[in-house]
């Protein structure tokens, strides 16, 4: 029976497409780990942070030193990088993915600019590279558990091809329409969540000016109709100073809100609320707090208005 199982696993591995994975950071390392665990042949790109790479190599992955080398070893390439600039960096140049000169299926799990994504998809088709966008929702914890949410933009046939791969690390896969629509939906998702962050931060600051502690604020909102998972993660930092409650850097929030501004401008849309949300995160980045995680926006807005939430919290203890 053991020999039969091994033979069956080998047969299944032969059927699985070879996956190249670029971007094995906080999210990507968990995603690539799930692909390895579920029998997909995975090649990862070398990175100066060796810890996740070494862990994946121990799990059975191979390593490439350039995007071109990775592409040559792959049928499908997954990108999980910061945004459109980084996507184009790994595509172009003598050591880029395009230089491999072969047909590929490219899945962009980054949070990229939709207008760039649609243009890239058209350009890459000339090189026999099919691009779909599949940005992510949830956190590194769900990435490691294989329970991410994925929004997928692409043709029905391309989404069907991607689905077995995405199922290795996703609990929910939502087709959104043509290429670019996944990245658009991701920006809208982040607009809502970053909008909540900006509102929470200003409300807490105003409360502190009136002598209302974060604990009082929380005692009213928690359990009410305004309570939600995002609220609870944000306030895990505000109340408990849990730095890892919501691991998304404010510099990336600013990048995403800037992408949304660009999209709104191209659409001829009036988008005043996003301008305010974007400026909140621009304030944080200008104050040197860009690498802090999103809930720390509450401290930035408080400090800019001459109050502190930490002293208010300590006074209530």
Question: Which active-site residues does the annotation give?
Answer: 186
Collapsing DSSP to helix, strand or coil, 38 comes out as: coil
Q: How many CB atoms lie within 10 A of CB 315?
A: 10
Residue 95 tokens read as 């050591």
Query: For residues 10 and 198, what is the distance between their CA atoms, to the nearest angstrom?
Result: 51
Polymer length of the chain: 317
Q: What angle do CA 301, 191, 143 make, to 5 degrees?
A: 100
Strand locations in the chain, DSSP E? 19-22, 42-45, 62-64, 76-79, 104-108, 129-133, 136-137, 148-153, 170-177
Query: For residues 6 and 248, what is the distance between their CA atoms, to the nearest angstrom?
Result: 41
Backbone phi, then psi, for 61, in 5-degree steps? Answer: -75, 160
Residue 236 tokens read as 């895990």
Q: How many CB atoms lie within 10 A of CB 269?
A: 9
C-alpha distances (whole Å) from 142 to each of 26, 27, 148 are 11, 9, 5
Residue from 284, 295, 298, 296 nearest 255 by CA: 284
Place of tokens 């988008």: 271
Contacts of 211 by beta carbon, 8 Å cutoff, 6+ apart:
none
Residues 73/97, Cβ–Cβ less than 8 Å: no
Residue from 260, 225, 252, 301 nearest 80 by CA: 252
């Amino acid at each position: 029976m053991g020999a039969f199982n091994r033979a069956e696993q080998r047969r299944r591995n032969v059927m699985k497409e070879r996956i190249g994975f670029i971007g094995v950071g906080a999210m990507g390392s968990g995603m690539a780990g799930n692909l390895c665990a579920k029998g997909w042949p995975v090649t990862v790109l070398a990175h100066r942070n060796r810890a996740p790479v070494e862990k994946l190599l121990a799990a059975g992955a191979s390593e490439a030193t350039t995007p071109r080398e990775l592409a040559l070893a792959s049928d499908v390439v997954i990108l999980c990088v910061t945004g459109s600039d980084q996507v184009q960096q790994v595509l172009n140049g003598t050591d880029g993915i395009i230089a491999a000169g072969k047909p590929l299926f490219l899945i962009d799990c980054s949070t990229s600019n939709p207008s760039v994504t649609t243009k890239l998809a058209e350009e890459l088709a000339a090189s026999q590279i099919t691009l779909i966008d599949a940005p992510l929702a949830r956190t590194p914890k769900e990435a490691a558990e294989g329970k991410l949410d994925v929004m997928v933009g692409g043709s029905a046939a391309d989404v069907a091809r991607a689905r077995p791969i995405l199922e290795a690390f996703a609990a929910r896969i939502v087709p959104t329409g043509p290429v670019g629509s996944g990245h658009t939906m991701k920006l809208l998702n982040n607009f809502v969540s970053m909008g909540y962050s900006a509102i929470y931060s200003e409300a807490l600051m105003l409360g502190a000016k009136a002598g209302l502690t974060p604990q009082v604020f929380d005692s009213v909102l928690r359990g009410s109709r305004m309570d939600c998972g995002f609220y609870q993660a944000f306030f895990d930092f505000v109340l408990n100073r849990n730095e890892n409650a919501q691991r998304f850097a404010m510099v990336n929030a600013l990048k995403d809100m800037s992408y949304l501004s660009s999209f709104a401008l191209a659409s001829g849309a009036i988008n005043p609320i996003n301008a305010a949300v974007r400026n909140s995160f621009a304030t944080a980045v200008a104050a040197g707090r860009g690498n802090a995680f999103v809930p720390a926006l509450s401290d930035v807005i408080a400090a800019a208005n001459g109050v502190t939430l930490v002293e208010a919290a300590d006074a209530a203890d």
